[in-house]
Amino acid sequence: MNREHPAGILTGPNLVSCIDELSPQDHDDMTHCTQIATRSADLLCGRFVDSAKWLNEYVSTLNFLGWSVFQDTIFTRTRHDLPESVADFLVRSAQGMHDARQGNAMIDTLDALKPDRPALYSLDEESRLGEHFQVIPARYDSRGRLEIAVFNLELVTQRKKSAFLFGDWEDRSTEIIQRRAYLKLSKSELETKRTLIEKKRCEIAMKRFNLCKARAT
């Protein structure tokens, strides 16, 4: 028998990959905070206008909601050639993180996303076929605290494709620009913002896709 296992979340331009099965409350809190931060950054400058400014507002909003920045890596900007698919690049990047499980979690999330046509179409629209999107690996640390890495990404190419994550890029000039930040959630701080979060999330019309990968039991 197969059981649906939530491998990740897609909401707006944000693709969240989860190592562990998040508790229902953490699942919702992370999604709502992500949506509120996206909306706040969009209102400031628009996600396609100034990526650095947009990300600064995005992270500042998360910080206000109870997510603290750590590792001092915010806004590190790197540029990479892309001789592979974007999906392959994301898996390779996740495999290079401190927690080796991130790579397998990213594979599971992408495997769940690939056949989900409504989710793929939504990501294509929200990102302008990869012009600006975010990938957010999430996990619990050794103390049970929820932490996320925010990878802010821009696909630079002369030829755009639908389902851009999974196409092979034959143009040698295709590149991907990445900025990143790491954050941990303080649940006590988030609880002080609970009323505000509930109010704001009800004002935001942003699609949410729970990405499920069937697994054998």
Paired tokens of 88: 């392959």
For the chain, what is the mean pLDDT? 88
Beta strands 133-140; 14-18: pairing state: parallel
Q: pLDDT tens-digit profile of 124-174?
A: 999 999 999 999 999 998 899 999 999 999 999 888 889 999 987 766 778
Angle, CA 97 vertex, CA 93 and CA 102 arms, to 5°: 80
CB 12 within 8 A of CB 113: no
Q: How many other β-carbons are positioned within 10 Å of the β-carbon of residue 48?
A: 13
Q: Where are the alpha helices (DSSP H) in the chain?
A: 24-44, 51-64, 86-95, 101-113, 117-127, 187-192, 194-203
* 3-class secondary structure, 162: coil
Pick the CATH number of 8-204 from 1.20.120, 3.40.50, 1.10.3470, 3.40.198: 3.40.198
Q: Which of 84, 110, 50 is nearest to 174 (CA)?
A: 84
The residues with which 47 forms a beta bridge, in sequence order, are none
Neighbours of 170 (CB within 10 A): 8
In the chain, which residues have pLDDT < 70?
A: 1-6, 71-76, 170-171, 214-217
- Return the domain boundaries, the chain: 8-204
